[in-house]
Structure 1
Amino acid sequence: MRIIKTSLVCLFVVLASSCKSARSIVASGKVDSNVSAKQLIKENKKQDANFKTLQAKVKIDIIEDLKETSYTVNLRMEKDKTIWISATLGLARAMITPDRVQFYDKINNQYFDGDYQLLSNLLGVDLNYDKVQSLLIGEPLFDLKDNNYVISINENSYILQPKNQSALLELFLLFNPSHFKMDSQQLLQPSKKRFLQIDYLGYQDVDKEILPQNIKIIAVEDREELNVVLEYKSVSVNQEVRFPFKIPSGFEEIILANAK
């Protein structure tokens, strides 16, 4: 199970945030009871990220079994093509592309080279590169045009949910009334006791891109819970980036026997 959670962390540790020109966004907007689901979806679509490349330092706090561990990694992204993560001194490195998930760990001399199937099974969601990227840059995990949604409100957010929720997967999407980016994505798979919640705790303006500043991820399966908190620093967009990645020779391949 620990190896599986390592894969989750590698997948989740990706995103963008503040740079010298970045500024935090104060969410001062109020919900409007007259906004329709169609209008909300349209406004959210206007906020889709337009950057070509991104690089940043990301501080990661992982909380598991009441133990907290902190890391700082370098993150580079070419939108729609590559997500690259490197730990200090290159002790661990990951590269995610539309058809592969790869990472290696020099401390344990291990590597993984596979597809998205394991993570899809673990989270109860059919994952691919587009869904992962959307999740991590504050965009809906699912294409909102692919379903009929109903809207409701609470004090601080608009709430979208499918008009007909699936018995296998319940979905709740919360949107911020200030900039129409996401406040939270919540996915529940009752039959398998799985729950995934991604909370976007703050946003910032980076060269006219509205990007998350802090994210909290909660992944629950039965009685096991993993919390990952991300803080993004020193981000820049639309600069030239490289993605050096080569699995060292002699490393042992991680075989995930419980992939279904």
Structure 2
Amino acid sequence: MKHYSLILLAFTFFIASCKRQHISKTSDTQVIDSLKLAESKPANDSLVTQPVITPEVVVTETTDEEKVKIDEIDFKYLKAKAKVSYKSAKDNQSFTVDIRVRKDSLIWMNVSAFGITVATALFNDSLVKLYDKYHGEYKEYSYSSFAEKFNFNVNYDILQALVVGNRPFKKNKSRVTRSNEYYLLKQQENKVLIDNYIGENKKLKKILLTQEDTSNKLTLDFDDFTTLNQFLFPQSSLITLDYQSKEDQKMYQTLVNIKHTKVELLDTPLEFPFRVPEKLLNKN
């Protein structure tokens, strides 16, 4: 039970700072069986070595993105339940996460195990609030402090993309290339390079974010698309964080599998309950 507050962070790819899994660049760690995304890959496919997609023909430069316009999900509120599996060399755990989103402003997550709430998190555009109910601890983080603590620059847009499968940076100028069965839309946001891989169904199949100053990489793979309110929604996703430890300079990896069991896109406002005992608020 002691890892549940960290598991909440794992769902948002932050658990790497707490569960160190030493790997080499050619590790052959396998995908967790529960993710359908793995079924389409060869049995010996490596999680560390991502699929090689080499651009072949340049289609356009920056101004003509309409040719590869992404079919994004439009909504006011999202309500979902997901089965999440976290795996490292020493740990393999599964849990349930309830998710609520108010588009472009608020994400709420509630982690439970055996039907008992163990942690709750609230994300807005500038702050992360985490209540570890099991241990009776409460923390607040800015995204800049998260970046330092968890080895990757993140913000609200990236977190929402993780949940919904939409492109995280829409107003950023892009360069578009053709890459086998994908269109590759390349961007840069501050010190983060973003590669958006768009499939023939005009959906994002993969987002690769590379931090220039460290070469740490965050990969979001989306699969198992089903029709939801006239949109194609990714029921399965795989989160991979590869980073170099500041302590020993070795490479580590975090893997998180997400399988949505229920998703609703709503116009009716949702509640985002986040109650923390006053004595914990005073300690923060």
Same fold (TM over 0.5): yes
1:42 pairs, out of 54, 66, 69, with 66
The equivalent position to 2:79 in structure 1, one of 55, 58, 82, is: 55
| CA distance in 2: counterparts of 1:98 and 1:120, whole angstroms | 14
Across the two proteins, how many residue pairs are aligned to each other?
A: 230
Q: How far apart, in 2, do the equivalents of 1:3 and 1:73 lie?
A: 11
- Conserved 8 A contact 1:203-1:210: yes
The equivalent of 1:220 in structure 2 is: 242
Q: What are the residue-to-residue correspondences of 1:64-103 with 2, within 5 Å?
A: 64-88=88-112, 89-103=116-130
| Cα separation, 2, equivalents of 1:254 and 1:176 | 48
Q: Residue type matched to 1:9 in 2?
A: A
Task: Give 1:146 shift.
Answer: 2.4
The 1:132/1:166 distance shift into structure 2, 3 A limit, reads closer
Distance 1:249 1:64, change over 3 A: farther
Q: What is the TM-score with the length of structure 2 in the denominator?
A: 0.69
Q: Of 199, 217, 220, which aligns to 1:198? A: 220
Aligned 1:7-156 pairs, distance under 5 A: 8-11=9-12, 36=60, 41-42=65-66, 45=69, 47-88=71-112, 89-121=116-148, 122-125=150-153, 127-143=154-170, 145-154=171-180, 156=181
Structure 1 runs not aligned, ≥5 long: 14-32, 256-260
CA contact (8 A) 1:44 1:181 kept: no
Say if 1:235 and 1:193 are closer, same or farther in 2 by CA, change over 3 A: same
SS at match of 1:112: strand
Would the alpha carbon gap of residues 249 and 157 (structure 1) be closer, same or farther in structure 2, given more than 3 Å must change? same
Shift in CA distance, 147/48, structure 1 to aligned 2, threshold 3 Å: same
Alpha-carbon distance between aligned partners in 2 of 1:206 and 1:192, rounded to the nearest angstrom? 38
**SS state at 2:233 partner:** strand
Shift of 1:119: 2.9
Distance 1:253 1:69 in 2: 32
1:114 Cα deviation after fit? 2.2
Q: Which runs of 5+ in 2 are unaligned?
A: 15-56, 245-250
Secondary structure in 2 matching 1:130: helix
Percent of matched pairs sharing the same residue: 23
Q: Please tell me whether residue 157 in structure 1 is matched to residue 159 in structure 2.
A: no
Partners of 2:190 and 2:121 in 1: CA distance: 34
Name the residue aligned to 1:230.
258
Give the Cα separation in 2 of the matches to 1:202 and 1:40: 29
Structure 1 residue matching 2:65: 3-state secondary structure: helix
- Where relative contact order (Cα < 8 A, 6+ residues apart) is larger, the structure is 1
Helix, strand or coil: the match of 1:146?
A: coil
Aligned to 1:243: 272
Partners of 2:89 and 2:191 in 1: how far apart? 28
Question: Residue deviations 1:203-243, cap 9 Å, x none?
Answer: 22111122211010001111221101100112112144211
Distance 1:40 1:213 in 2: 30
Q: What is the letter of the counterpart of residue 241 of structure 1? A: L
More displaced stretch, 50-59 vs 169-178: 169-178
Deviation at 1:61, TM superposition (A): 0.4
Give the CA RMSD over aligned residues: 3.3
